[in-house]
Amino acid sequence: MSDPSLEIQIALAGRIAGLATEAGGRVYDDVPPEPDRIAATGAAWPYVSFGNGQLVPIDEECFDRSTTFIDVNVWSRAVGFPEAKRIAGAIRMALHEQDLVIQGHVLDRMRVESIDYLRDPDGKTRRARISLSVETQPAA
């Protein structure tokens, strides 16, 4: 079985960075320090980052399929949740039950399983955690 999780993350990053949201192109695997985000993009907030993930093989005799679970996090310092919810909503519309080109793999199905809205313990930061499931099989 080939592990599609890296190629899925690359495809997701491209799709999310191309959306017209307040996060713009600030989509990260490893979030740079705030001064570096400002220097690179003109702003530090909001941004999107990739969180925890998991790969689960789908055991079928004829297919080498898998489901990749991945969390996409929206981080905002705007007052309240409106900004985080707008960005999360745009991401949901762009991903849920949509097509996605994944290098070396064929997408069978992509679903937004849930979106959790959380207040960070720092009292300033709001987060939307989008939980995705992505079913794939290797390209022929």
- For the chain, give every domain's residue range: 5-138
pLDDT in tens, the chain (140 residues): 568 999 999 999 999 999 999 999 999 999 999 999 999 999 999 999 999 999 998 877 667 889 999 999 999 999 999 999 999 999 999 999 999 999 999 999 999 999 999 999 999 999 999 999 999 999 98
**pTM listed for this prediction:** 0.94
Rounded CA-CA distance 90/74 in Å is 11
State residue 120's pLDDT score.
95
State residue 2's pLDDT score.
66
Give me the CATH topology for the region 5-138.
STM4215-like (3.30.2000)
State residue 3's pLDDT score.
85
Residue keyed to tokens 């307040």: 22
Q: What is the CA radius of gyration of the chain?
A: 16
Q: In a 3-state reduction of DSSP, which class is residue 101?
A: coil
